[in-house]
Structure 1
Amino acid sequence: MLSTTDFRKGLKIEIDNTPYEIMDFLHVKPGKGGAFVRTKLKNLLTGGAIDQTFRSGEKVGKPDMETRDMQYLYHDGSGFVFMDMSTYEQVTIQDEAMKDKGGFLKDGQTVKTLFYNGQPLDIELPAAVVLQIKETEPGIKGDTVSGASKPATLETGVVINVPLFVNQGDMVKVDTRSREYLGRESQ
């Protein structure tokens, strides 16, 4: 059991058999009455956010969660297949649970996978990945009307905006959170 004194950003708690992550919290001590903790929680199963208030010292459950290193194998049409690096067991995470993270996975890439009650829940991508430009139009000199960028399709199928000097076949570094171009990588 976890007490409200243990609350911090990123802490995972369980309320009514549902795992939540604390996104923000504020300890409030009014002049009259007992202290309380106001929190903003993210539901780890659905991704939705709720506001919840707890009395100071109130106890909440600790979810049965673990993180394992898994290797991405392939996409089977309905989900992403990963292999546990220690037991070689394969698990599938459905497309809906992955949201837009699947566009940054390359075959053989190792990621941290979050499990809740033995079921895969989510993956943790690195902050930036290096991917190859599969398709982009050649940049036209002097074309700065469009903000000096053009769309480019990466080897995984994700489309991002890149500067005009980036060509097809270039290796680029991409921020996985904002989907922004960070720079070219030497091959």
Structure 2
Amino acid sequence: MKINASEIRVGMLLEYKNDLWQVLKTQHVKPGKGGAFAQVEMKSVGKNTKLNERFRSSETVEKASLDENKYNYMYEDDTNYFFMEPKTFEQIEIKKEIIGEQGKLLTENLEVSVSFYNENPISVELPNQVHCKIETTDAALKGQTVSSSYKPATLDNGLNIQVPPFIEAGDEVIVDTRNLEYVKKI
């Protein structure tokens, strides 16, 4: 689907120079002399390279069309995570590099949204919040209640996050999957 350069937004996927690019930054510039343009910083999805490009406002670029399906997480091995489509029971595997640090938040039967480009999975979106259990945490120091102080904690999946002083080992908490931060105690 063709879009104007002025419609490019952060997070979009563009087909450009025979590759798939994710927009990291965009800035619309209107110089005193000449036409307006969009300065766009993009990262290649496949090659992991960056590109800075200028698009005149009158230019059009190809926005990548993605297919998105719901899948349930099943299990992992050394290099892949395995998911199942709940209606057809079709199984797919996705490399751990695609999911990254968020893979530690996957729990059995967790419903995720997988985006496909040309029938290849390129991204996995977890629910915004997941339940986790605190494995270990430091003792709260007395007198630090004046400022909003947080202390380090390790979750049962191995992730390290910052939690408020009243959280103890064994507590159930909700973690935001987008920024890996503590949300609230259950």
TM-score, normalisation: structure 2: 0.82
| 1:46-65 map, 5 Å | 46-65=47-66
Distance in 2, matches of 1:148 and 1:55, equals 48
| 1:116-155 map, 5 Å | 116-133=117-134, 135-137=135-137, 139=139, 142=142, 149-155=150-156
Q: Which sections of structure 2, spanning at least 5 residues, go unmatched?
A: none
Name the CA shift for 1:20/1:141 in 2 (closer, same or farther; >3 Å). Answer: closer
SS of residue paired to 2:104: helix
Q: Which sections of structure 1, spanning at least 5 residues, go unmatched?
A: none
Name the CA shift for 1:172/1:122 in 2 (closer, same or farther; >3 Å). Answer: same
2:7 is the counterpart of 1:6: yes
The offset of 1:138, in angstroms, is 6.8
| 1:79-98 map, 5 Å | 79-98=80-99
Distance in 2, matches of 1:36 and 1:79, equals 41
Distance in 2, matches of 1:62 and 1:161, equals 38
Distance in 2, matches of 1:68 and 1:111, equals 8
Contact 1:139 1:165 (C-alpha < 8 Å) held by counterparts: no
Name the CA shift for 1:168/1:30 in 2 (closer, same or farther; >3 Å). Answer: closer
Name the CA shift for 1:178/1:71 in 2 (closer, same or farther; >3 Å). Answer: same
The offset of 1:107, in angstroms, is 0.9
Contact 2:71 2:86 (C-alpha < 8 Å) held by counterparts: yes
Contact 2:98 2:124 (C-alpha < 8 Å) held by counterparts: no
Distance in 1, matches of 2:153 and 2:35, equals 56
Name the CA shift for 1:170/1:53 in 2 (closer, same or farther; >3 Å). Answer: same
Letter of the 1:16 partner, please give it.
K
Letter of the 1:165 partner, please give it.
F
Name the CA shift for 1:60/1:165 in 2 (closer, same or farther; >3 Å). Answer: same
Q: Give the count of matched residue pairs.
A: 183
Contact 1:91 1:120 (C-alpha < 8 Å) held by counterparts: no
Name the CA shift for 1:106/1:31 in 2 (closer, same or farther; >3 Å). Answer: same
The offset of 1:131, in angstroms, is 0.9
SS of residue paired to 1:13: strand
Name the CA shift for 1:2/1:87 in 2 (closer, same or farther; >3 Å). Answer: farther
Name the CA shift for 1:59/1:151 in 2 (closer, same or farther; >3 Å). Answer: same
The offset of 1:140, in angstroms, is 6.0
SS of residue paired to 2:63: coil
Name the CA shift for 1:136/1:57 in 2 (closer, same or farther; >3 Å). Answer: same
